[in-house]
C-alpha cells in the first residue's frame, strides 16, 4: 500500500521535470510564431496585386511578410543615407511638424525610435542598486546617463565629484515599464553583473541570479549552493 504514494510522487516529479524542460521551448516557439504571424497579417495585405499576385504562394508562406518587411527596411535605410534621402526625411519632418495633433505623436514616436535604435545614442550599460521606494529598501536599476540641463540646475548641491545620475528602475515581471529616478552617484551601488543578467533577475522576481563561477554563462537558481 505504501508503494502507490511513492509511484505518484515519482510521476509528479517526472511531470514537473518535463514542464521545466518543455515550457521554455514551447513558450519561445509560440512567441516567435505569434510575432511572425502578426507581421505577415499586416505586411502582406499592403503589397499591391501588381507586385505580388493575389494567388502567389508568397502570400501564404509563413515568414514571407517578415522577409519583405526586413528588405523594405534595408532598402529604406540605403535610400535615406544618401543626400536625396536625407532631404526627403527633412521634408517629411517639416510636413508632420505643421500638423497640430499629428506632430505630437510623430515627434514622440520618432524620439523613442531614435533612442532605442540609434547607434550613437547611449544605452543601458550598468546595473545598480538604489534605495527605493524608501530608506532601507533597495531596488535594482539601470544607469542611463549623467543628468543634465534643468534637472541639475534646479536641484541643489550639484557637485562634479558626485554627479547626479539618471536611473531607470524596472518593474517585475515586465521590465519595459518602470520609474525614472535621479540620484547622486554616492547613493548608488554599482553592480558587477551585466545588464542582461540584471534584467533576468527582475523578470524572475529574484528567482535566478548570475553564476558567480561563470558570469558570462547561464543564470542559476536562487537556491543554488554556489550562491553565498
Q: What is the DSSP string of 153-182?
A: HHSS--BTTB-EEEEEEE-SS-TTSEEEEE
What per-residue confidence (pLDDT) applies to 194?
Answer: 87
**Residue 180 lies inside a defined structural domain of this protein:** yes
**Residue 206 lies inside a defined structural domain of this protein:** yes
Q: How confident is the model at residue 140 (pLDDT cuts 50, 70, 90)?
A: very high
**Residue 96 lies inside a defined structural domain of this protein:** no
Question: Has residue 219 got a pLDDT over 90?
Answer: no
Q: 46-78 pLDDT, tens per residue? A: 888 888 888 888 788 888 888 988 998 898 888
Closest CA to 197 of 146, 144, 142, 145: 142
Q: How confident is the model at residue 168 (pLDDT cuts 50, 70, 90)?
A: very high
- Return the exposure string of 146-172: e unless at least 16 CB atoms fall within 10 Å of the residue's CB, then b: ebeeeeeeeeeeeeeeeebbbbebbee
Q: How confident is the model at residue 99 (pLDDT cuts 50, 70, 90)?
A: confident
Higher pLDDT, 159 or 71: 71
Average pLDDT of 134-162?
86
Question: Has residue 110 got a pLDDT over 90?
Answer: no
Closest CA to 208 of 185, 191, 227: 227
Q: Which three cell numbers stand for residue 148?
A: 543634465
Can you give the pTM of this predicted structure?
0.59
Average pLDDT of 126-153?
91
What per-residue confidence (pLDDT) applies to 13?
Answer: 84
- C-alpha dihedral over 153, 134, 222, 20, to 10 degrees? -90
Please tell me the distance from the alpha carbon of residue 184 to that of residue 21, in angstroms, as a whole number.
43
Q: How confident is the model at residue 118 (pLDDT cuts 50, 70, 90)?
A: low
Residue 144 structural domain: 126-221
**Residue 227 lies inside a defined structural domain of this protein:** no
Residue 223: exposure state from Cβ atoms within 10 A (0-12, 13-18, ≥19): exposed
Q: 13-24 pLDDT, tens per residue? A: 888 888 888 888
Instruction: Select the highest-mean-pLDDT range: 94-98, 117-121, 188-192.
Output: 188-192
**Residue 40 lies inside a defined structural domain of this protein:** no
**Residue 132 lies inside a defined structural domain of this protein:** yes
Structural domain count of the chain:
1
Q: Are 132 and 139 in contact (CB under 8 A)?
A: yes
Q: Beta-carbon neighbour count of residue 140 at 10 Å?
A: 20
Closest CA to 110 of 128, 87, 90: 90
Q: Are 96 and 102 in contact (CB under 8 A)?
A: yes
Question: Has residue 160 got a pLDDT over 80?
Answer: no
**Residue 209 lies inside a defined structural domain of this protein:** yes
**Residue 176 lies inside a defined structural domain of this protein:** yes
Amino acid at each position: 500500500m505504501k508503494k502507490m504514494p511513492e509511484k505518484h510522487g515519482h510521476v509528479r516529479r517526472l511531470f514537473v521535470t518535463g514542464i521545466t524542460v518543455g515550457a521554455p521551448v514551447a513558450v519561445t516557439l509560440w512567441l516567435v510564431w505569434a510575432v511572425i504571424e502578426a507581421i505577415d497579417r499586416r505586411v502582406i495585405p499592403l503589397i499591391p496585386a501588381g507586385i505580388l499576385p493575389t494567388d502567389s504562394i508568397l502570400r501564404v508562406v509563413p515568414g514571407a511578410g517578415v522577409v519583405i518587411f526586413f528588405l523594405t527596411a534595408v532598402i529604406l535605410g540605403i535610400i535615406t543615407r544618401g543626400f536625396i534621402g536625407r532631404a526627403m526625411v527633412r521634408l517629411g519632418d517639416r510636413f508632420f511638424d505643421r500638423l497640430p495633433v499629428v506632430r505630437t505623436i510623430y515627434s514622440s514616436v520618432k524620439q523613442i525610435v531614435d533612442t532605442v535604435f540609434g547607434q550613437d545614442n547611449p544605452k543601458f550599460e550598468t546595473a545598480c542598486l538604489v534605495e527605493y521606494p524608501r530608506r532601507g529598501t533597495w531596488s535594482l536599476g539601470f544607469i542611463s546617463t549623467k543628468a543634465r540641463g534643468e534637472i541639475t540646475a534646479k536641484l541643489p548641491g550639484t557637485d562634479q565629484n558626485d554627479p547626479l545620475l539618471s536611473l531607470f528602475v524596472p518593474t517585475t515581471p515586465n521590465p519595459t515599464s518602470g520609474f525614472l529616478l535621479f540620484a547622486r552617484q554616492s547613493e548608488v551601488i554599482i553592480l558587477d553583473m551585466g545588464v542582461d543578467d540584471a534584467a533576468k533577475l527582475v523578470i524572475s522576481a529574484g528567482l535566478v541570479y548570475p553564476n558567480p563561477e561563470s558570469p558570462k554563462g547561464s543564470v542559476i537558481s536562487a537556491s543554488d549552493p554556489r550562491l553565498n
